[in-house]
Amino acid sequence: MSSKKNVIISGFIALVAALLIIVASMFAGIAPHQIQPTSTQSSSTIITSSTMQTTSITSSITQPTLSSTTTQISTTTSTHIGKGILAILFTDPPKLAEGVTAVYINYSKIGVHYSKPNVGQGWVWTRSEGTNLNLTALDGVAQAIESIEIETGASINLIRFNITGAKVEYNDRNYTAFVRTGNLTIVIIGGLQVNDGVNALLVDIEPTVFNMGTKDEPLFVLTAVAKGYPVPQEGLEEIRDKIHMPGFKFVLKNRMWWQRLRQMHASSIEITSAEVSSKLLKVNVKNTGGSDVMLRLVIVFPVYARTDAKKYLPSYFEGAAVFLIKSDRTLEPLKLRYKQNMGEDVKSMLMISRGYKLEQGKSVELKYEDELIFEYGLRLRSTTTPTVSEYLVTVIGDGVADTYTVKV
């Protein structure tokens, strides 16, 4: 075959091949200028594509594991880098007047005070406000109130909140209570160092509720103190994933760490002796608890007048001699006759009185030398005094109370 003919045939074959490639590329959606001229580069594209596909498959397999891990971290900490979660919890062993079955409070402005080296100090405030928190339901129980983010390494030494209102359930009826101590700034015993993850602060509210009114027209007073405790790591082990969720509750009374804290720091007083006569009242009180206490009131009942007066906290003070405890340890009689503005008089007297601070481990003698008149809350003063065989003396403070019987 001649060389000219061979050239013609080769050109024809090349033309056909080119047309086939163009047609194939059109069906494949590839523009003619994108066609690679060598088979080596085409092979490289297939390998790269295969590699990308393998990466994509690997990613789709591992992604659920990563997502699960992220969800778990969010559930347990919900923190940003360099921050921990601080859960704030309330508990409450209240001291209640006889007949009071429930105490509800409203609260607001919860804040914690922190300090951190090379950073400074300040307050972190939550937006939490609560209404109708049942304190009596928290006897031996802790409830999560709020959780906030705090920088790790910060030290927490104070917590503050306001009791903005209170209600008392008494003999199946609800009464508004006068809050004697509404703004509470609480020292964290031992302090709390914020670590990564979940930290917890337990606020032990210690309210005393008593009736400064009469049997028919009660006027309840709530006076409270509180202590703050860091929850140790052993206390977080079982509840770490839930303790920061508002509303979560757990039982405290069977937990050894809580029993140790209560034994060391609980407030308590004891009346060690008392003397009562027509013109003398003398009461010796000892602070047997783990912190200083404020003493507010002394109430003396002639037992003839009240058969129910032997209760831990009498249901009302009507017919008793009531005294305000002053800062110099003297006693001021509270002479309240039955009248329309009785409640306002009581509030004024209680707000003026500062009480007496009894330091931990110390004792004090409270003394009054004048005629004792047992007419608190009565419409008319008694003209005769029945024979009295014994008196009941009660001392009430912030979070504390004790009763002592004096035989005549």
383 in the same domain as 345 = yes
pLDDT (tens digit per residue) in 145-162: 999 999 999 999 999 999
Predicted confidence at residue 121, as pLDDT, reads 92
Using the 3D structure, point to which of 76, 95, 117 is the last residue of a domain: 76
90 in the same domain as 44 = no
Using the 3D structure, point to which of 240, 265, 290 is the last residue of a domain: 265
Q: What are phi and psi of 364, to 5 degrees?
A: -145, 145
233 in the same domain as 179 = yes
Phi-psi region of 248 (alpha: psi -120 to 50; beta: other; left: phi over 0): beta
- Which tops the pLDDT comparison, 50 or 20? 20
108 in the same domain as 209 = yes
Predicted confidence at residue 128, as pLDDT, reads 75
274 in the same domain as 254 = no
Predicted confidence at residue 85, as pLDDT, reads 92
Overall number of domains in the chain: 3
Task: Name the residue among 265, 270, 301 with its Cα closest to residue 283.
Answer: 270
Q: Taking the model in full, what pTM does it have?
A: 0.71
In angstroms, rounded to a whole number, what is the distance separating the alpha carbons of residues 154 and 195? 8
Asked if pLDDT for residue 399 goes beyond 60, the answer is yes
Do residues 201 and 86 make contact, with C-beta atoms less than 8 angstroms apart?
Answer: yes
List the beta bridge partners of residue 18: none
Question: What's the token pair of residue 43?
Answer: 């092979």
Task: Name the residue among 168, 164, 167, 174 with its Cα closest to residue 97.
Answer: 168
Question: Which residues of 44-197 form beta strands (DSSP E)?
Answer: 83-91, 95-96, 100-116, 120-125, 130-134, 141-151, 155-170, 173-179, 183-193
273 in the same domain as 261 = no
Q: Grade residue 395 by pLDDT with cuts at 50, 70 and 90.
A: very high
340 in the same domain as 191 = no
Whole domain around residue 40: which residue ranges?
3-76
| Size (the chain), residues | 408
- Which tops the pLDDT comparison, 164 or 67? 164
Question: What's the token pair of residue 301?
Answer: 């009942």
pLDDT (tens digit per residue) in 19-35: 555 444 444 444 434 43
User: What integer is the mean pLDDT of 204-233?
Assistant: 87
188 in the same domain as 88 = yes
Q: Strand, helix or coil at 278?
A: coil
351 in the same domain as 315 = yes
239 in the same domain as 90 = yes
Predicted confidence at residue 225, as pLDDT, reads 86
Instruction: Quickly list H helices, 166-255.
Output: 233-236
Asked if pLDDT for residue 91 goes beyond 80, the answer is yes
User: What integer is the mean pLDDT of 255-281?
Assistant: 91
Asked if pLDDT for residue 366 goes beyond 80, the answer is yes
304 in the same domain as 232 = no
User: What integer is the mean pLDDT of 350-372?
Assistant: 88
* CATH number of the structural domain spanning residue 321: 2.60.40
Q: Grade residue 122 by pLDDT with cuts at 50, 70 and 90.
A: very high
Cα distances from 311 to residues 308, 317, 405, in angstroms, run 6, 12, 11
Q: What are phi and psi of 250, to 5 degrees?
A: -150, 155
- Which tops the pLDDT comparison, 225 or 41? 225
In angstroms, rounded to a whole number, what is the distance separating the alpha carbons of residues 196 and 153? 9
Predicted confidence at residue 10, as pLDDT, reads 54
Question: What's the token pair of residue 251?
Answer: 């039982």
User: What integer is the mean pLDDT of 349-365?
Assistant: 84
Using the 3D structure, point to which of 200, 231, 265 is the last residue of a domain: 265
Give me the chain's average pLDDT, please: 77
143 in the same domain as 98 = yes
DSSP 294-341: EEEEEEEEETTT-TTTTSSS-S--TTSEEEEEPTTSBEEE----S-TT
Task: Name the residue among 227, 323, 212, 329 with its Cα closest to residue 268.
Answer: 227
